[in-house]
Structure 1
Amino acid sequence: MAKLTDYRSYADAQAHATSAALWDLFDGDREDLNIAHECITRHADGSGRAAVRIAHAANGDDGGRDEILSFDAIAAGAARFAHWLDAEGIQPGERIAFMLEPSLPFYVCLFGAMQTGAISVPLFTLFGPDALRLRVDDCKPTILITNAEKAELARSMDGPRVIVADDALLADLARFPASYSPKTKANDLAVFQYTSGTTRELPEAVKHSHRALVTLMFAALYGTGIRPGDEFFCPSSPAWGHGLWHGTLAPLGLGVTTGTFAGRFDPVRLMQALEAYGITNMSAAATHYRMMKNSGRAADFAFHFDKLSYTGEPIDPATLEFIDAHFKVPACSMYGTTEIGVVLVNYPGAQDFRVKPGSLGKAVPGQKLEVQRPDGSACDPGEIGELMLWRRDRWETTKDRAKIDADGYFYHCGRADDVIISAGWTMSAVEIENTLLKHEAVLECAVIGVPDDKRGQVVKAFIILNRDGSDALVRELQDFTREKLAQHEFPRIVEFVTDLPKTPAGKVHRKILRDREAAKAVELAN
């Protein structure tokens, strides 16, 4: 009997993609399901087949090493880690956080914790103390696992027991059996996933159950186009939603070898890996494609792509032209968020689906979206409104503005809130403002996103000081923010001002600042 992975066309997706058909892809059912079993254990057949290829960043004279982890090795390590957690008295529902680059310890922790019924919490390795503390305070992990470099930072957090993922830990795990029987039900929680930014002062984890793996497969099949036989790669960090769900769990759940990047991102190192691994299907952030274009080195490599996808933000026309010229297949946008999942896709690999440059595509099978006016009525083609998703028997906002064309394709028309998307990272204006306000020189501040050719947007801060400004103080404020939050999360542009526009309620009026910057851009262009 045919499975959804046997179909390639858009017409087949509309005809055959049902919830029941998704469950046919897995060993588990609506009652009993475990992500670690579906992604790793059931594919560990003793053959040594590759599960994850890791392209490590260049380091000094080292041009960057390749690391290949097999299903067998990850399955054995995850089982031993699960037994270790049991021996440590960890109970189902407790949170196990890990702040690690892609590596054997990362995947052992991720899948081992989920087998016991504990909840895996991946954390970004470049978090500073404030960003890490917010998330630790929110999820309250029993154990926080990290590397030796980050151990001191981790120990400064109140609460969790800190474990260093080193040779001593691996030696300790070796005394446990290399097999484990999972303890979970399909509806048990498996992962706490933090977004890369939030409109809230305190980030709240999106809580995913084991059955989320099943619903994820609509995005995998039709957003990234994954099928058995693909050589897949996703350079996004698995600490974030795209890298974890679309770059790790989705391909592994189908038994597809995936690839990832560890260390400081380098577009040339990425292209080396794409050529060396014979990658046929890549899903990346828009900024990854821009950085490959800007490197000027793409012509040095041979590519083997059949399918490409991207997420996080639109791709500019010059980068789309670069993709067409060097990769020879269309880049397919997919749209969604950590909270709602992927809902608009371009069906990579479907020969009967026309990919329109700049379009978000059409709905994933089973999803219903509409662009609406403020009164809730549907917008006409070409009319900009709010993008709404039909869920739980009602329309829910995506907090984005959009339009559709006469053929039913959706187009993104900007954010409806104050979230800033820069180089694929989603950042909170409020979180950056609150960090800047901790600096002794800052009296008031406001943060917005402004257009940037390379990153789509960059963060700009308007700051009222209690002393004279200087270039040195700009650098100090930037370093202060990135050390407190994350290496990518700081104002690249700083303007010292004497006042800020306010609403009648006394809140900073960011829209006025955005409008001013837009007017400046128009004036400069003319």
Structure 2
Amino acid sequence: MTKLTDYTSFADAQVHANSTALWELFDGDREELNIAHECITRYADGSGKTAVRIAHAKGEDEILSFDEIAQRSAQFAHWLLEKGIKPGDRIAFMLEPSLAFYTTLFGAILSGAISVPLFTLFGLDGLRLRVDDCKPSLLVTNEEKREIAHQVDGLNVVVANDDLLSEISKYPTTFGTKTRANDLAVFQYTSGTTRELPAAVKHTHKALVTLMFAALYGTGIRPGDEYFCPSSPAWGHGLWHGTLAPLALGVTTGTFAGKFDAVRLMKALQDYKISNMSAAATHYRMMKNSEAANQFDFYLKKLSFTGEPCDPATLEFIDSTFKVPACSMYGTTEIGVVLVNFPGAEDYQVKPGSLGKPIPGLKLEVHRADGSQTAANEVGELMLWKRDHWESTKDLAKVDDEGYLYHCGRADDVIISAGWTMSAVEMEATMLKHDDIQEVAVIGVPDDTRGQVAKAYVVSDRAASEEFITELQTFTRQRLAQHEFPRVVEFVEELPKTPAGKVHRKVLRDREAAKANA
């Protein structure tokens, strides 16, 4: 029987892509489904087939098979049950990609618990905010983060070391799943939020089925691909598009562990003979800036990117280096991927700068403030038809005469920097905890490398200095995350305010735009 994975053209996607065809890719059905089984257990056939290749920043490679992850996950699931963990309990983990990471991720899901991946560079405040929100029964982390984790009151901390792996090794290597398709499986935090206290996006097991639209048409994954996604699996792109999607199709995936290095990534692409990569625009930009691409051989046939627009110079680098068009895909953790460029489809033209066209079956429009649909190339708010009503994506966009959509900026105060989505509100709230800050406002400003960076306007009685700037940056990143801090700080006498007394960020953005155009 022909499956969706057998079709590669844009035309076939319009004809054959539907919910029924998606479900045919899985063992489970609309009643019973388990993400861990679909991604790992069903491919653990004793053959030793590689599931994940991990390129560590320091140079070593870690290769994990479906068999090994399945056995360890089952043992961890049994261990959780013995510890009194019940279906629906949250198991948080703050780990780099490793055997311990995948054991925890899939073991918790296998048991019926809910997996909650957390970014390894979170400081105390960033960790506490998310722990307070999801209230996990335990947190699994490494030796490096043990001290920070123990500072969160009431948090049961387990260190993922050889002792833990030895402890769980006494348990059976198989586990019978009993989850329903509508049971919760993953709590996923966005890498930024417009709220001071982030709320998790709650995914059921059947979210994996919906994800396949993005896998097939956003990243172009097909059986036989050698796939790689350098984005951290603590965030949506790295977890869903980089980990769960390829594994659910039995495709070997690759990822990066440790501090990102563009040269190390390119060596992995060469050594693993990667044919399909999905990354953030910044990953491509950093490869370009390294000026080392000519040192490696590449085997890429499909490329995709997400998180932010890709600048023209980087797109030119991709074309000249990889000889493959870079396919943008657009979405959010809340709504999933909705616009794609169909990597690998020979009958689809990729337009540089475009977000692409809607995933088959989805309806998107660009609207004016009054709710009417815009004309071609007129900027408005991008809207998604969902559950019988139009839902805002909080982004501005335009659509051309051929139905391609283009991103025209954010409609809120979220900052996208190097692929990370950061909250201006959260940064401001953290910086205001510093004794020497009276007022602060944070906005995104253009940056050649990262697309945008956070800039903080600070009101303080303390004299401005480079030492003070560094102190504020360290203060913020230690409490939120290593990437979430103002890379630019300007000291001002006062902040512009609205008549209601709120900080007027638009005035600050306009000032920056005027400087750029001067």
TM-score normalised according to structure 1 size: 0.98
The percentage of counterpart residues that share the same residue type is 74
Equivalent residue for 1:235, pick from 203, 224, 230: 230
Asked whether the equivalents of residues 98 and 145 of structure 1 are also in contact (C-alpha less than 8 Å), the reply is yes
Residue matched to 1:215? 210
Determine whether 1:6 maps to 2:6.
yes
Determine whether 1:178 maps to 2:161.
no
Q: Distance between the aligned counterparts of 1:106 and 1:184, measured in 2?
A: 21
The CA deviation at 1:311 is 0.1
Q: Distance between the aligned counterparts of 2:426 and 2:327, measured in 1?
A: 31
Q: Distance between the aligned counterparts of 2:488 and 2:141, measured in 1?
A: 32
The CA deviation at 1:159 is 2.3
Corresponding residue pairs, total: 518
Q: Distance between the aligned counterparts of 1:149 and 1:311, measured in 2?
A: 30
Aligned counterparts, 1:99-498, within 5 A: 99-498=94-493
The CA deviation at 1:274 is 0.2
Residue identity in the other structure for 1:198: T
Q: Distance between the aligned counterparts of 1:496 and 1:342, measured in 2?
A: 39
The CA deviation at 1:466 is 2.1
Q: Distance between the aligned counterparts of 1:465 and 1:229, measured in 2?
A: 58
Q: Distance between the aligned counterparts of 1:13 and 1:79, measured in 2?
A: 36
What are the superposed Cα offsets for residues 289-311 of structure 1, whole Å, 9 maximum, x if unpaired? 00000000000000001100000
The CA deviation at 1:471 is 1.2
Task: Please state whether the residue corresponding to 1:454 is helix, strand or coil.
Answer: coil
Asked whether the equivalents of residues 194 and 206 of structure 1 are also in contact (C-alpha less than 8 Å), the reply is yes
The CA deviation at 1:183 is 2.0
The CA deviation at 1:503 is 1.0
Determine whether 1:24 maps to 2:24.
yes
Asked whether the equivalents of residues 32 and 178 of structure 2 are also in contact (C-alpha less than 8 Å), the reply is no
Q: Distance between the aligned counterparts of 1:50 and 1:224, measured in 2?
A: 20
Determine whether 1:49 maps to 2:49.
yes
Asked whether the equivalents of residues 140 and 159 of structure 1 are also in contact (C-alpha less than 8 Å), the reply is no
Q: Distance between the aligned counterparts of 1:212 and 1:492, measured in 2?
A: 36
Q: Which runs of 4+ in 1 moved over 3 A?
A: none
Residue identity in the other structure for 1:50: T
Task: Please state whether the residue corresponding to 2:32 is helix, strand or coil.
Answer: coil
Asked whether the equivalents of residues 305 and 326 of structure 2 are also in contact (C-alpha less than 8 Å), the reply is yes
Q: Distance between the aligned counterparts of 1:277 and 1:57, measured in 2?
A: 15
The CA deviation at 1:505 is 1.2
| Structure 1 runs not aligned, ≥5 long | 59-63
Q: Distance between the aligned counterparts of 1:31 and 1:488, measured in 2?
A: 40
Equivalent residue for 1:81, pick from 59, 72, 76: 76
Asked whether the equivalents of residues 142 and 159 of structure 1 are also in contact (C-alpha less than 8 Å), the reply is no
| Structure 2 runs not aligned, ≥5 long | none
Residue matched to 1:61? none
Task: Please state whether the residue corresponding to 2:164 is helix, strand or coil.
Answer: helix
Superposed CA RMSD in Å reads 0.5
Q: Distance between the aligned counterparts of 2:156 and 2:477, measured in 1?
A: 26
TM-score normalised according to structure 2 size: 1.00
What are the superposed Cα offsets for residues 168-208 of structure 1, whole Å, 9 maximum, x if unpaired? 10011110000000121000000000000000010000000
Residue identity in the other structure for 2:509: R
Q: Distance between the aligned counterparts of 1:132 and 1:34, measured in 2?
A: 28
Task: Please state whether the residue corresponding to 2:69 is helix, strand or coil.
Answer: helix
What are the superposed Cα offsets for residues 457-507 of structure 1, whole Å, 9 maximum, x if unpaired? 011000000221111101110111111111111111100000101111111
Q: Distance between the aligned counterparts of 2:461 and 2:482, measured in 1?
A: 26
Q: Distance between the aligned counterparts of 1:186 and 1:227, measured in 2?
A: 24
Residue identity in the other structure for 2:241: H
What are the superposed Cα offsets for residues 315-357 of structure 1, whole Å, 9 maximum, x if unpaired? 0000000000000000000000000000000000000000000
Q: Distance between the aligned counterparts of 2:117 and 2:462, measured in 1?
A: 40
Q: Distance between the aligned counterparts of 1:222 and 1:159, measured in 2?
A: 44
Task: Please state whether the residue corresponding to 1:442 is helix, strand or coil.
Answer: coil
Q: Distance between the aligned counterparts of 1:196 and 1:315, measured in 2?
A: 19
